[in-house]
Amino acid sequence: MKEMPFEQIASMYDPLIKSQIRLYHLTTHFDQYYQAGLLGLWKAYETFDPKKGQFSSYAFLHVRGRILQELRGEARKQQKEENHDPHESKAFRTLSFEDTIPLLEDETMNLYLMHLTENQQRWVTQKVFHMRSEAEIAEMFGVTVYAVKSWRKSAIKRLRSVLFTN
């Protein structure tokens, strides 16, 4: 296949890429998946060994694989966005009084949370306000229990230093 330039191969296999996009109903983000298909075709073009079979079969596997890989990446990204708790981000600092922390005014909470890292804030909100265990917090954020304990230790240390300096 190296005797032909890639541009010619790309135009020959254009229907293959488009058919895979249609097959998986990915037409809403056509350009993104077409680019992924072209990358798969490029990989096939660069690594093809004529002694091992036909290029068309090899190209098909690479194009389909790259498009599916892109689709899986998008699904993971979407799942993370759906599972994202708005209380875990830095926007947590702007909580209103009616939100999930009824006993503290948001100004008081902001005063202390502003000194913590995002992970330390995660620990404070999940442990103190939602009463979750370290194991539950670790599972929620996909980290080890030891990492959560580290968040706890550093959060407590930092909060103590803030309390004693005020």
pLDDT tens-digit series, residues 7-36:
999 999 999 999 999 988 888 889 999 999
> Where are the CATH 1.10.1740 domain residues in the chain?
6-83
Q: Phi then psi for 2, rounded to 5 degrees?
A: -70, -15
> 124 exposed, middle or buried (CB, 10 Å; 0-12, 13-18, 19+)?
buried
Contacts of residue 95, defined as CB under 8 A and 6 or more positions apart, other chains included, come to 87, 101, 106, 109
Level-2 CATH architecture, domain 6-83 = Orthogonal Bundle (1.10)
Q: Phi then psi for 104, rounded to 5 degrees?
A: -120, 145
Global pTM value: 0.50
Does the pLDDT value for residue 47 go beyond 60? Answer: yes
> Where are the CATH 1.10.10 domain residues in the chain?
86-165
Return the DSSP state at 6: H
Distance CA 41, CA 13 (A): 8
> Per residue in 57-103, pLDDT tens?
999 999 999 999 998 888 888 877 766 554 554 444 444 443 344 44
107 falls in which pLDDT band (50, 70, 90)?
A: low
Work out the mean pLDDT of the chain and round it to a whole number: 82
Distance CA 37, CA 65 (A): 8
Provide CATH code, domain 86-165. Answer: 1.10.10
Return the DSSP state at 144: -
